[in-house]
Structure 1
Amino acid sequence: MNFWDFARGPASVKVVLEFGLARGFSQDDLLARSRIAPQHLQDPNFELSALQELRVVENLLRLAGHPPGLGLQVGQGYRFSTFGLWGYGLVCSATVGEAMARALRFIPLSYAFSRVEQRIEDGLCLLQMRPPDLAPGLSRFLVERDLAAAASLVLEVGGPGLQLQRVELQGGRGRAHRPCPGLTHLGGAPVRWDGEGYCLGFDARWLPHPLPSANPISAAMCDELCAKLVERWRVREGTKALVQQVLAATPGDSRPSVGALAGLTSTSERTLRRRLQAEGTSYREVRAAALAEQARELLRDPALPITRIAERLGYADLSSFSQAFKRWQGLSPAAYRRQLAAAID
């Protein structure tokens, strides 16, 4: 299952928004370009796309200046109550192990963007996370957030006495991979910043540990309702809409190829092309439309140089970008920006 395949509730966006507001950022700036109105976040039945949540995360990263460890900080704000029915099902489980199995069975309801797998190794129960295939800084934030949120859930569900034994984040180059000075431990375990992947682990002897709020009737009810919610949130907008979301979430200089996109959308390249053709379009056309839309959005920011916009969209030089934009819009990027300014005045 892929996070693109499912809608999601507003609770996760609320956590990100509250984190940003606590640091002095405005609500309008945090929700910019997400098409999420403040009143939507007060409606538990409101459904939003993965792309809308990614927009809010991108805004937070930009406003905060992309500091290392930001995802870990945000992730610690998640509690089982954040996850509604899915979280309630965990605390109603008979044991820690049953809660883990239930969590993975209905993982689309967890707001996770990472792929999560469980395994036992050297006496530890490990949760291994594979980051989403998005822009590096965004991907790092999301896997950090998912890992920290999972850590909070494990400790909250397990109760007093359970501590993490291992917390690892993949090492690498760039600012996003630097250690966060104020975050040396998570859940009782030292944070290792130069690991081979992303994982957390606790003593596997905790798996049969009984939970104080165990309720088999409530757990069974949660299973039934979670299965219905997963089905309700399954996206049925068609291949074109799914491809549009993926392309809109990835910058031009790291936009996936058709083959990579097929993998992200859980299909083969041939099938992807055939489905797009059946919907009256092609990957090339959808990609061009995504670039045009992103270009128009970026040009609305008068402080962003057009040369920088060309770079962000993956063009080798300003001339190539200008020619492409003229094909899309019928006028140059500079003329389009002047047109926007005149409309505002």
Structure 2
Amino acid sequence: MNVWNFARSPASVLLMIDFGRDRKIAPQALLKGSQLTLKQLADPDFTVLAAQELAVASNLLDLTAGEAGVGLKVGLSYQLSAYGLLGYGLLSSATGMDAVALAGRYLALTYTFVGMTFRRAGPHDVIQFDASPELAANVQRFFVERAMGATCRVLRDVIGSAFELATFDLAYGADLGVDLGPGPGADAKQPVLGAKIRHGQPASTLTFEHAHLERPLPQANAATAAMCERMCAELITRRRTRVDLVSFLNEYLATRPFDRPPQLKDIATLLNTSERTLKRRLQEEGACFRDISSAVRKTRAQALIAEGRLSIKEIAQELGFSDMSSFSQAYKRWTGVAPSVSRQAAAGS
């Protein structure tokens, strides 16, 4: 199931904003380039595109560059209530095993950007987390750590305080461990749920005794679990966003930085398909990648000029142009007027 095809609850972005606030990072700095507003995020019926959440996460990484273990710390804050209906379904499942199976069926209702697989290994269970190769290396690590932290938090919330890990293996170099304790006072050298973090491992995995999943859950309720699953099935249908390739590309490109404009081959990797297949699908929809990319650039340029926050030179840099002259020529080709004319018109309106 491709997570890029599904919209998400605002809860994940709001948790990252809260994390940033604790570090005196303004929400507006985290929302830059995402086309999201705090007013939208306060609406419980609003949904966030995967590409928009990616933009916020990338900003958070840039603004906390000197802090270790950010992904894991963020993930550990994803309490069960952040998952809405799915969270209630997990809590009301008959056993931990039932909860894990439910989460696997409705993974698109979480906020993951990584692949997750569950397997038995003798008396233990293993959950493996695989990074999305199309993302930058630091973003890959952030999302793997976040998913691992969030999984730890959910398992503890669902199964109870007795739940502990046997191992916490991370396929990345040495970094600080993180405690489950709340707030900035938590000791960053403590283990996570009883397990020391082992770095540089062949894969990123969480291992725990299978017996934890066999026990009845304290808040199990068959009727509630069935109702939640039915509603999750309806919700996942409503949140499916990919109606056509052109719509997807417009949504994706609108939240990507243009300092390194994505190529069609990057999109093919993202969607796990071939560049030839994408070209054929775009031809069937009467579109081409270059035109879509130019249209997105044009829309963003017009929005930035009307906003008035950046100078024309800064807008050119924001959109990936080598100099202001190249941007001015492109803008005039798109709109028929120079950027300065549009700015004057916006200022006078």
Task: Determine if contact 1:7/1:48 at 8 Å carries over to the other structure.
Answer: yes
Distance in structure 2 (CA, Å) of the matches to 1:124 and 1:256: 42
In the TM superposition, 1:55-74 aligns within 5 A as 55-65=55-65, 67-74=67-74
Superimposed CA distance per residue, residues 144-177 of structure 1 (whole angstroms, 9 cap, x where no aligned partner) = 1111001111111111321011212222xxxxx5
Q: What SS does structure 1 have at the residue aligned with 2:62?
A: helix
Q: CA-atom RMSD, angstroms? A: 3.3
Structure 2 residue identity aligned to 1:180: L
The answer to whether the aligner puts 1:153 opposite 2:154 as a matched pair is yes
- Taking structure 1 as reference, are residues 166 and 252 closer, same or farther at Cα in structure 2, changes over 3 Å only? farther
Verify the 8 A CA contact 2:332 2:339 in the aligned structure 1: no
Q: CA deviation at 1:284?
A: 3.1
CA distance in 1, matches of 2:67, 2:304: 22
Counterpart position of 1:7: 7
Separation (CA, whole Å) in 1 of partners of 2:190 and 2:302? 42
Question: Structure 2: how far apart are the matches of 1:255 and 1:33?
Answer: 14
**Partner secondary structure for residue 141 of structure 2:** helix
1:175-194 alignment, distance < 5 Å: 177-180=173-176, 182-194=188-200
Larger mean CA deviation between 93-102 and 155-164 belongs to 155-164
Alignment of 1:1-345 (within 5 A): 1-65=1-65, 67-132=67-132, 133-171=134-172, 177-180=173-176, 182-247=188-253, 257-289=263-295, 309=317, 318=322, 325=327, 328-330=330-332
Per the alignment, residue 174 of structure 1 pairs with: none
The 2-side partners of 1:119 and 1:256 are apart by 35
User: Aligned letter for 2:136?
Assistant: A
Which sections of structure 2, spanning at least 5 residues, go unmatched?
178-187
| Cα deviation, residue 191, structure 1 | 0.9
Q: Residues 140 and 286 from structure 1, CA distance in 2 versus in 1: closer, same or farther, beyond 3 angstroms? A: farther
- The TM-score normalised by the length of structure 2 is 0.81
Q: CA deviation at 1:265?
A: 2.3
Structure 1 window deviating more from structure 2 (241-250 vs 9-18): it is 241-250
* Letter of the 1:276 counterpart: L
Is contact 1:292-1:325 (8 Å) kept?
no
Which secondary structure state, in structure 2, belongs to the residue aligned with residue 170 of structure 1? coil
Query: In structure 1, how many angstroms separate the alpha carbons of the residues matched to 2:34 and 2:21?
Result: 16
TM-score normalised by the chain length of structure 1: 0.82
Q: 1:293 to 1:146 in 2, by over 3 A?
A: farther
The separation in 1 between residues aligned to 2:35 and 2:256, in whole angstroms, is: 18
Q: CA deviation at 1:105?
A: 0.3
Deviation at 1:45, TM superposition (A): 1.0
Give 1:126 shift. Answer: 1.2
Q: CA deviation at 1:273?
A: 1.3
Q: Against the structure 1 CA distance between its residues 279 and 327, is the aligned structure 2 distance closer, same or farther, given a 3 Å change threshold? A: farther
Comparing 207-216 and 122-131, the one that deviates more: 122-131
Give the distance between the partners of 2:278 and 2:199, measured in 1 at CA. Answer: 37
* Percentage of pairs with the same residue: 35
Aligned in 2, Cα 1:306/1:250: closer, same or farther, shift over 3 Å? closer
Please say which of residues 284-293 and 139-148 is displaced more in the overlay: 284-293
In 2, Cα distance between the equivalents of 1:134 and 1:62?
A: 15
Report the secondary structure of 1:149's partner residue: helix
Gaps of 5+ in 1: 172-176
